[in-house]
Structure 1
Amino acid sequence: MASVFRREGTKFFHADFRDAKGIRRHRSTKVTSRKEAEKIAAKYEEAAQKRRTFVQVKQVISDLHEEITGETVKAVSLRDFISEWLKEKEAETKPSTMDFYRSATTRFADFIGTQDNGDIFHVGRASVVQYRGNLLETMSSTSTNHHLKCIKMLFRAAKKNGIIAEDPAESVDTVRKSEEGTERLPFELDDIKKVLALADDEWKSIILVGLYIGQRLSDVAKLEWSAIDLDSEKITLVTTKTGRRMSLPIATPLKNHLTKTPKEKRQGPLHPHAAAVFAKTGKVSTLSNQFAKLLAAAGLREKVSHTKTKSGRGAKRDLNALSFHSLRHTAVSLLKAAGVDQATVMEMIGHESEQMSAHYTHVGEESLKKAAAKLPDIVSE
C-alpha cells in the first residue's frame, strides 16, 4: 500500500509505492498536505501497477489535479499553443528570428500531426526524441540542435504557463556535432584575389570590407556611408547578431578602396543592391548563394547544385568549408600570423566569450589601429 513521507529539508511529501514488478518507487507529490499527498501516492501506485500507457498516466495526473485544486486542466492543441507562443515572442524578438521560430514550430507541429491526439498535454518525450531523429535525417547536427532548442523553449513556456505539468523536451539532449565537413576554413590570399577578379564592383567592395573589418555578411550588407569616417579612419556599427556597438579601424587598403567613390556619392548604403536584398528579407541567404556562385566560378567550391548526401525532398546537403564567413576566419588568421595578441584580435573581430573576458577588460583604439595596419594589401599587390 502506498504511503507518504517527508524528507529532511524539504516541505513536500514524497510518495512511497511499488510498481507492477514490485519495485519500490519514490516520487515527490509537490504538495505540503499529508491528506492530499496520500491521494496522490495512491494514484501513483494505481497507475504504476496497472501498466498504463503514458497518455493514461497523464490523464490520471490531470484528474488528480482537478480533484485536489478544483481547477480543470484545459485541453490545448499543440498548434493553438504554438500560435499563442509566437504572438508572445513577437514583441521581444527580431523579425528574422521570428521567421525561424515560425518555421521550426510549424515543422514540429506537422511532424506530430494527429499523434498524441494533437494535444500539447499528450506530447511525450519519445515524440520529441523521434522528431530530433527526423531532423538529423535532413539537416546538419548544428541545424538540428538549433531547431531542438526552439522546441525546448516552446515546452518551457507551456510548463511555465501551467499548460503542462511535465516538460517532455527537458531531458532530450542536443546531438553531438558532426566532425565531417563542418569546419569553416580561412581563405588563402591568392584565392581571394581569384574571387575579386570575377566579382562585379559591388561584390568586390563587399569582399574587401568583409575581410578588412572581419564582420558578418549581414553587417557588411547593411553598412551605410554615414557609419564610415574616412578622416578619423573608423567604421562604427551595431552588429546584427549580438547588438554590440563597435568602432573599427579602417586599414589602409580598405581606405584606398573607399576613397575611390566620389564624395557626392558617399550617402545611403555602401552596397545598395545587397542592402536592398537584406532589408527585404531580413536574411542573407540570397547574398550567401551569390557569393557561393562566385566561389564556384573561381573553382574554390562545388557549384551550388544542391549536392546531397541522399535523394529526396528533405535530403541533407553537403557542407562546404568555404563561405563568406571564411573571410572572418581569414582576418583572424592574418592578424594572428602578424603577431597581434589574442585579446586585440577578439576585440577587433567582435568575438565575445566569458573565457576571454577573464584575460582582458579593454583594448585601446591605438592597439586596434596597429592591428589593422598589419593586414596585407590584396588590392594593389
Structure 2
Amino acid sequence: MNAGSRIKNRMQKLRGTLRRKNAKGSFYYRLTVANGVRKEFALKTTDELEALQRAEELDSIWAAPTMDVAAAQINAMKGFSRQAQMLPLSEGWAKYEIHPERATPHTVSEQLSYKTTYEDFVAFVTTPGKHHTVITSVAELNSKVAEEYASFLKSQAQAVDTHNRKIKRLRKIFDCLKDYYSGENPFRSKTLLRNAREEQATIVRRQAFSKEQEQQLREVLADDQYHVMNKPEIRVIYYIGMFTGQRLKDCVLLQWQNVDMERRRIWVKQFKTGKEVTIPMAAELHAVLKEAQAWKEGQYVCPKSAARYNKVDRNGKSVGVNLINIDVLRVIRWIGLEPSVAVPGRSKKMTVYGFHSLRHAFASFCAEAGVPKAVLLSILGTDSEIADKYYTHVGDAAQQQAIDAVSGTMNGKSDRDKINEALAVLKNNFDITPEYREKLIQILS
C-alpha cells in the first residue's frame, strides 16, 4: 500500500472531518463531541500528514472516559486547539471584563453599553424561540447564531449606525473570548453589518440656523416672559455657541481661566477631539460675558449649568448632559421650531435642530462670507466634518448664478425681459437725458 492510500485509509477512520477553508490555508478538524455538540478545531498547520496526526490525537482525547480527562488532555497539548474548556454565556462578561485586550471606552456610558449589548445578546440566544437557535455556552457560538441575532436586530426599529455599533461591540467581546470557542469569530462577518444606503431615503438631516433664527433666539433669551432653569447662564451658553462654533460640552464647561476679557480671546481644548483652538471674542459675546462676571464664582463661566451638566448616576454614567440638552431644546421651541421629527423605520425621532445647529450655522456663515476653509478649521477643529459639508457648496447666490447661466437669464431676467424694460423706458421718455441713457446702458449690458 502506497503513502497516499495509507493517508486515505487513516482519514476514513477519523471520528470527524478534516478540511481546509481555502486551497493553501491551514487545516481544521470538525467533529461531534458530548451531547451532540459540533466543534471545529484549528489545527494550525498546512501539512496534510501533520494535520491528520493532530486529528487522530483529538479523536483519542474525546474517547476519554470523562469530559474532565478530555479537557486536561487538551490543555496538555501544545495549543493547536483553542477549545480548552466550556464557558457558560452567563459567565462570559466576567471573563471579558478582566481580559487585557478588552475595549477601553472613554466614557462610562459606552462602557455600560458594551455590557448591555452583551446581556441583550445572551438574553436572546438563551431564550427558546421559533426562529433562532438556542445556546447556553460560548463554545456553541457559530455563524448561524450570529446571523440570526443580526436579523433580530434588523427587525428592531433602530438606526443603521446603532445596529452596526452593537455588532462591533459583540465582535470585540468575542475576540477576547476566543479561547472558549473554535474557528473564527462569527461576528467578524461583514454581512452582519447594515449598509448606510439603507437610509438613503431618509432626507432628514441636521439643519443650520439662519441669521434671522439666531436673532430670534437672542430675543427670546432676553425676554422675561420665557422661563428655563438658570436662564441667564443658558443665554451665555447660547452666545458662546453662536460666536465660537464650539460643541455644547465645551460651551457649558468653559472656564474663566480660558477667557481673556482684555485681549478678547477664548481658548478651548475640545473635549471630543482634544484639539486646542483659540478664538477672537465677538463684541456681542464680550458683552454677555461681562454680564456673567457679576455672578463669577469658582472656575466655570456658568457654574450652575456646569454642576448640572456634570451630574452622574450611581454607576458613574453622565445624566447631566440630557438635563442641559432639555433646557437648550426648550429655547429652540420658543421660536417655533420642532427639534426632532419622526422617521419611518426608527423608534426614536431624528434631531433636526439642536445646540449643534449653532455649529452648523457658524460654518455656513463663514462659507457664505468667503472665509477660507483653513481659517474655519482653526476654530472648529481640524477634523471637523461640518466644514466639508458647507465648503463643498459655494453658496446659494453662486448656485443661482449657475442656474441663471444655464437658463439664459441673469439676475432673474431673460434677454426678452431686459429688452422690454428698455422699450418701456424709450416709450415713456422722448427726450433722452444722460440719466436715462445710463439707465438703458445698465439694462442692456
Equivalent AA in structure 1 for residue 52 of structure 2: E
Which shows bigger deviation, 198-207 or 68-77?
68-77
Report the residue type matching 2:45 in the other structure: V
Tell me, what secondary structure is at the counterpart of 1:248?
strand
Partner of 2:122: 109
Q: Which runs of 4+ in 1 moved over 4 A?
A: 1-5, 12-17, 39-44, 62-68, 87-92, 306-310
Check whether the contact 1:116–1:123 (CA below 8 A) recurs between aligned residues: no
Query: Which letter maps to 2:167?
Result: L
Distance 2:281 2:297 in 1: 16
2:237 and 2:285 map into 1 onto residues whose CA distance is 11
Q: Provide the residue aligned with 1:163 in structure 2.
A: 180
- Secondary structure of the equivalent of 1:301? coil
- Equivalence map 1:30-45=2 (5 Å): 30-31=44-45, 34-39=48-53
For residue 230 of structure 1, report the CA deviation from its aligned partner: 1.9
The secondary structure found in structure 2 opposite 1:236 is strand
Per the normalisation by structure 2, the TM-score is 0.60
Q: Which ranges of structure 2 fall in alignment gaps of 5 or more residues?
A: 1-7, 12-17, 31-40, 59-70, 128-132, 222-230, 313-317, 388-445
Structure number with larger C-alpha Rg: 2
Q: Match of 1:55?
A: none
One-letter code aligned to 2:326: N
Match of residue 139, structure 2, among 110, 117, 121: 121
* Other-structure match for 1:287: 324
**TM-score scaled to structure 1, two decimals?**
0.69
Q: Distance in 2 between matches of 1:156 and 1:182?
A: 36
CA contact (8 A) 1:221 1:275 kept: yes
Q: State the distance in 1 between where 2:299 and 2:382 align.
A: 28
Q: CA RMSD in A?
A: 4.0
SS at 2:86 equivalent: coil
Shift of 1:221: 1.9
CA distance in 2, matches of 1:36, 1:236: 65
Q: Secondary structure at the match of 2:266?
A: strand
User: Per-residue deviation at 1:32?
Assistant: 5.5
Distance in 1 separating the partners of 2:375 and 2:26 = 56
**Structure 1 residues 169 and 345, CA gap change in structure 2 (3 angstroms):** same
- Whether the 8 Å contact between 1:309 and 1:318 is mirrored in structure 2 is no
C-alpha separation between the residues in 2 aligned to 1:353 and 1:223?
A: 20
* Matched-pair contact (CA < 8 Å) for 1:236–1:246: yes
Kept in 2, the 8 Å contact 1:156–1:167? The answer is yes
SS of the residue 2:254 aligns to: coil
Q: What letter matches 1:292 in structure 2?
A: L
Over residues 230-268 of structure 1, what are the superposed CA-to-partner deviations in whole Å (9 max), with x where a residue is unaligned?
223332232222233333332332122212233672642
Q: 1:31 to 1:67 in 2, by over 3 A?
A: farther
Question: Match for residue 154 of structure 1?
Answer: 173
Summarize deviations over 1:168-224 as a string: whole Å, max 9, x none: 110134322323154211111222233333342222111111122212212222222
Instruction: Give the aligned residue type for 1:143.
Output: T
Partners of 2:213 and 2:245 in 1: CA distance: 17
What secondary structure is seen at the aligned counterpart in 1 of 2:278?
strand
For residues 92-103 of structure 1, the aligned pairs below 5 Å read 93-103=106-116
**Matches for 1:58-77 after TM superposition, within 5 Å:** 69=78, 73-77=84-88
Moved more, 81-90 or 142-151: 81-90
Q: How does 1:1-381 map to 2 (within 5 A)?
A: 1=8, 13-14=26-27, 29-31=43-45, 34-39=48-53, 69=78, 73-87=84-98, 93-114=106-127, 116-136=134-154, 137-159=156-178, 162-165=179-182, 166-172=184-190, 173-177=192-196, 178-179=199-200, 180-199=202-221, 200-262=231-293, 265=296, 267-281=298-312, 282-283=318-319, 284-301=321-338, 316-352=347-383
3-state SS, counterpart of residue 117 of structure 1: coil
Q: Which has the higher contact order (CA 8 A, sep 6+)?
A: 1
Return the alpha-carbon distance in structure 2 between the equivalents of residues 65 and 144 of structure 1: 37
Residue ranges of structure 1 left out of the alignment (5+ in a row):
18-26, 45-61, 357-381
- Give the 3 Å change call, closer, same or farther, for CA 133–198 of structure 1 in structure 2: farther
Match of 2:393 in 1: none
| 8 Å Cα contact 1:4/1:37 also seen in 2 | no
Indicate how the Cα distance of structure 1 residues 129 and 33 shifts in structure 2: closer, same or farther if over 3 A, else same.
closer
Q: Contact conserved, 2:292 with 2:301, CA < 8 A, in 1?
A: no
Change (3 A) 1:237 1:319: same
SS in 2 for 1:262: helix
- Report the secondary structure of 1:30's partner residue: coil
SS at match of 1:142: helix
